[in-house]
Amino acid sequence: MDEYNRFVDWDKMDVTAQSQDIKELSCTEFQELKQLARQGYWAKNHSLRAKVYHKLISSIPCRTVTPDANVYRDIVVKIVGKRSSSSLPLPEFVDDSLVPTYCLNAEGIGAVRKIILCIANQFPDISFCPALPSVIALLLHYSKDEAECFEQVCRILACNDPSKRLIDQTFLAFESSCMTFGDLVNKYCQAAHKLMVAVSEDVLEVYSDWQRWLFGELPMLYIARVFDVFLVEGYKVLYRVALAILKFFHKVRAGQPMESDSVQQDIRAFVRDIAKSVSPERLLEKAFAIRLFSRKEIQLLQMANEKALQQKGITVKQKR
C-alpha cells in the first residue's frame, strides 16, 4: 500500500473502504478541520490519515522534555532485551485483559507491548491508563516504525494545555470521568439510565466501562473514526460517542431479555458487534445530534467529582 503498512494485516482490513485518489489536506482552520474530521474526509485513505494524525499530534502543546523517537531507539533494547514481545509482562496501569489487535500483524501486536513498556519507563507518574494499549495499537497503523508511534503517543500523554484533556492517566482522573459519564447519562439519556438502574445491581459499575466500550471493544473502523474527531475536538467527543452507544444499545435491546446475566457483558458484546446494527457514520451522527453539554459543563462536573473522590480518600485503584 504505502510506507504506513509495516504493522497492518491487510487481509483483515476492509480495503474496499479505501480510496486511492490521494487528497492532500491543506486546511488549518479549526472549524473546517472539525467538519472534515466529522465527515470522515481522511478516513478513506490510509496514508492521508497517517499524515493528518502526524500533523494534529505534532501541534499538541507538550511538556518541554517530552520523549521522542530517539529516546525510544535508545531505551528499547535495554527494556525489552532478548525476550519475545508476546511474553512481555505489561505494567499494572493498563488492563492486561484488553490489548486490542485492530487488524495488526504479528510484528504490530508485539510492538504494542514493547511501546507500552517503554512508556512506563518514561512516564513514572502514570498510575492508571487502560486506554493506552488501544491508542498505541491504533496509531501503529499510521506509523512508519515503532519509534515514531512511541513519539506520537508520548505527545498525547505529555499534553500540558489545561483546557485540553486527552487521556486519563491516574485512577482519580479515570474514576471521576466515570462518575461524570454517569451524570451525563442521567441528564441526557434518561430512558437508557432507567433501564440501567432496573437491570444492574450497581449502575456506576456499568458506567465505569464507558472508556472500555471505546478503547477496547469498538471495532477498528469505528474507533479510528472516533479518534479522527477526538484529535481535533478533544475529550468531550468521547463522552458523546459513549452516550450514543448507550442510546443505540437501549433502542436495540429495549423490551428484549438480557443475553447474559450482566448488562455490563451485554453492552460489551453489543459494542463488539456494533456493525450489525449501526454504521460508523450513524454512530457519529447520533453522537453529535445530542443537544449537549459544553466543555465548560464537563470540566465543572469533572472537578466536582474529583473533589468528592479525594474527600473520600479514593485516589488509587483498590486491589480486588
* pLDDT level of residue 11 (50, 70, 90 thresholds): confident
Q: How many H helices and E strands in the chain?
A: 15, 0
pLDDT digits (tens, 9 = 90+) for 64-77: 899 999 999 999 99
Class of domain 171-312: mainly alpha
pLDDT tier, 254 (very low <50, low <70, confident <90, very high otherwise):
confident
Query: Which residues is 159 bridged to in the sheet?
Result: 62
* Domain layout of the chain by residue ranges: 1-161, 171-312
More confidently predicted of 292 and 187: 187
∠75-81-86 over CA atoms, to 5°? 110
Q: For residue 189, give every residue at least 6 positions away whose Cβ sits within 8 Å of its Cβ, in sequence order, or none.
A: 243, 246, 247, 250
Task: Write out the three cell numbers for 278.
Answer: 449501526
Q: What is the pTM of this model?
A: 0.93
Averaged pLDDT for residues 203-226: 94
Q: How far apart are the first and last CA of the chain?
A: 46
What lies within 8 Å, CB to CB, of 136 at 6+ separation is 112, 115, 116, 119, 149, 153
pLDDT of residue 50: 93
Q: Is the pLDDT of residue 238 over 90?
A: yes
Percentage of residues of the chain with pLDDT beyond 70: 92
Position 38 scores a pLDDT of: 93
Q: What is the pLDDT of residue 21?
A: 63
Q: What is the mean pLDDT of residues 52-75?
A: 94
* Separation between Cα atoms, residue 39 and residue 229, nearest integer Å: 9
Decide if pLDDT at 320 tops 50.
no
